[in-house]
Structure 1
Amino acid sequence: MIRIRLGARGLGGVRFAVSPMGSAKDLLRLVGFNPGTLTPSWRSRATDALTRHRLGLLAVVGGGGPLGYAPDFLRPEPPAFLTDIDTALHQIATTPQERIRYELAEAVNGHSWDPGSGHPAPRQLLQALGRGEDHFARRLADEMARFWHAALKPSWPAIRTRLEADVTARASDITQYGLAEALNRLAPNLEWRDGELLVHLRTDSIHRLTLDAEAVILTPSVFVDRALFCAGEPPGTPAPRTPLIVYPAAKVDCLPPAQDPLIGATRRKLLAELSQPRSTTEIAKRLYLSPATVSYHLQILHRAGLVTRARRSRHVLYQRLGGMV
């Protein structure tokens, strides 16, 4: 369990952020550590980007190894609500040397790979690190840039729309129920209790940490189904960072009524049908609407980034973003 103790000042420092680089890291970790949780389309897109662009080092570091930990410097601390991709890549490339040494030592010595088992750190990682931390950081930034453009950039407008809508929903929760209840609603394994923010880890995890913090960054992701703790460390850690918690973004059909001016009753019904790919004709039959009416509403939802579309044979299939992950 992770315990983050927040006093009055710490509560005042709680903020939300939308992170394009964080989304890329979450996708990388799933490809490397738990690919079965990805839809075939995302799994194919990510693995194709890694293979086609020869991003071997990024796959090793970002994938998390057999034990699951992927170094946190691949997810830079967001300096603002929305950080552009170039700023985030610069943050990776200029990560302090001592921070890289600290995180990779944690990874190599038991968080990602177990040196005492049949899963030691890959030679590729050790060879790259042998050229120095600065070179290592610049190379990973370059590979992350190529991965971002190949795998995530085409879908980022839609993903960003969903993440920003999620934060809007959380702001509504804070207004209606207060910050404590809003925090409890973020993820099933995240809990606010007696002045502490608790991240309940999986039952097989041996990681335990209690720390005092003057701020916490909360960032939604479409690639996680439970809260993940990143970056916060006890005193004495090199180049310490603000504790950051990644939580699962709400599904499109879980958004509050404030979204009704865009969605409305008909479009909500369409979104409910699009948990799996469907054609305009199929949706029209299921909802007893004309194909022209369905097509009109789907075009609006597509422009808003709430659904994707792909051509298969002679048909164009639509799917809501929430059904892609």
Structure 2
Amino acid sequence: MSIKLHLDNLPVTRMAYSYSVLNELLLSLKVLGDHKHYPLHIGWALATRRQLPDGMRREHRFFSLIFQSMLTFLWETGQVEEADFAIELEMLAKRPLAHFTDAIISALLIGSTPTGKRIVQHFTTLATFQQEPTLQSQARDWLATYYPDSIEIVDLLLTNPTALKERFITFIKQYWELVFHASWAEIESFFLQEIGRRGQRLYAEGVIQGLADLMPKMHINEDSGEVIFFNNSEDEERWLGSKDTLNLYPSYFTYPSSLFTFHRDQDERLSVSITYPLPEIRHIGQSPLPPEQLLTTLRAIGDGTRLQILQLVAQTPRSTRELAPIIGLSEAAVSKHLKLLHQAGWVSAERNSYYVLYRASIRPLANMTFALNQLLKKN
């Protein structure tokens, strides 16, 4: 499964990057209810559960349907210009009631179950849901199977949806005050650092190369302007033009997953949003480079000729035939240097007609930096 984005016509000025306190809080509640699928946060989840009073634990189980399904439909990072919990919560509270009930009904009827089965394949409004006993019965059966603590949600949707929303807002506010406020104080600096780094890379290297280290399972074809993300979602392929937007949202609590959302406005402008794990979190989730691999990485660039080759292929993809006269070596000698760079991950190879083109990769730099940091860190 993959998501392929064609970005050759997307200007860097149509890139946006930000983060949201409320989005991270909601994602943390998802982790809290399903910590087995978030290995780096198991310790945090277990410690946090112990902090919650019994009443808040019950409320968390009651709203688990929302946290586990269609979360991005309820709240999306890019809706705020400045990350501030009080402002964001007020924005959510002031949203029309339909925005909240639509998210829940979509989770009930369209959101995939653990078996992949869906009750319906299309969007359903609250008014329709209230008038269709069959849908109500199906929703109750689905909840009884997968989210038994949330069955009462159906009754509140039918009798008092406003009270349901107010109950949700109250729970979010209490969770912030009791638990998440302290967690956020510890992790916000990661977001500020990533926004700064990402902005510098995008404007220095352009859209395609600016995304090169966004996540581990991805492939970039700079010549065609394609970026392919490999994940567990359904296959998607989208073309972004000069009026479309690509939004990047770093996240502490989404690892090891990434979230993709697609939206077209009334003028048919496409907006693609990617919520991806912070680099600091990805590095924690990676095994440190073993000493022999670290040595291979360092040795590959510990030579003046190979550094020159790496600089040349960083400028533009090149073949051995193009590199040889520039370096002043035979093609066979250049190939030996490229083989060492390729083994260490500093270059990637891609066939183009009769030639193999080599392009630079910065991924070993991040791995090497993390490995050296771990090696030299004081206990």
TM-score (norm 2): 0.55
Trace 1:236-251 onto structure 2 (pairs within 5 A): 242-251=271-280
- CA 1:51/1:13 → structure 2, altered by over 3 Å: closer, same or farther? farther
- Residues 1:229 and 2:259 are matched in the alignment: yes
| 1:225–1:248 CA contact under 8 A, matched in 2 | yes
Q: Name the count of aligned residue pairs.
A: 256
Matched, 1:119 2:139: no
Q: Quote how far apart the aligned CAs of 1:8 are.
A: 4.5
Aligned with residue 42 of structure 1, among 38, 41, 44: 44
Q: CA-to-partner distance for each residue in 1:90-124, whole Å, 9 max, x for gaps?
A: 22223334433433233112425455763367313
1:172–1:241 CA distance, 2 compared to 1 (3 A): closer
Structure 2 CA distance for partners of 1:48 and 1:188, relative to 1, 3 Å: same
Deviates more, 1:169-178 or 1:14-23: 169-178
Would the alpha carbon gap of residues 201 and 51 (structure 1) be closer, same or farther in structure 2, given more than 3 Å must change? farther
Pair 1:135 & 2:160 matched:
no
The structure whose residues are more often helix, as a share, is 2
Counterpart of 2:48 in structure 1: which amino acid?
Answer: A
TM-score by length of 1: 0.62
Root-mean-square deviation over aligned CA pairs = 3.9
Between the aligned partners of 1:127 and 1:273, the Cα distance in structure 2 is: 57
Identical aligned residues as a percent: 15
Structure 1 position 94 matched with structure 2 position 94: yes
CA distance in 2, matches of 1:191, 1:132: 48
Structure 1 residues 106, 12: closer, same or farther in 2, change over 3 A? same
8 Å Cα contact 1:16/1:167 also seen in 2: yes
Partner of 1:187: 215
Distance verdict in 2 for CA 1:96–1:231, change over 3 Å? farther
Q: Could you tell me which residue of structure 2 aligns to residue 260 of structure 1?
A: none
Q: Distance in 2 between matches of 1:196 and 1:134?
A: 45
Q: What SS does structure 2 have at the residue aligned with 1:220?
A: strand
Please list, as runs of the form range in 1=range in 2, the aligned pairs for 1:45-194 lying within 5 A after superposition.
Answer: 45-54=47-56, 56-61=58-63, 68-113=68-113, 118-119=145-146, 122-190=150-218, 194=224
Q: Give 1:250 shift.
A: 1.4
**What displacement does 1:147 show?**
1.4
Matched residue SS, 2:249: strand
Contact 2:208 2:220 in 1 (8 A): yes
Larger radius of gyration: 2
Letter aligned with residue 158 of structure 1: E
Output the CA distance in 2 between the equivalents of 1:244 and 1:171. 16
Q: 1:252 to 1:106 in 2, by over 3 A?
A: closer
Letter in 1 for 2:19: V
Deviation at 1:212, TM superposition (A): 6.3
- Deviation for aligned residue 1:157: 2.4
Q: CA deviation at 1:39?
A: 3.9
> What's the offset of the Cα at 1:244?
2.6
SS of the aligned residue for 1:244 comes to strand
Unaligned runs of 5+ in 2: 120-137, 284-369
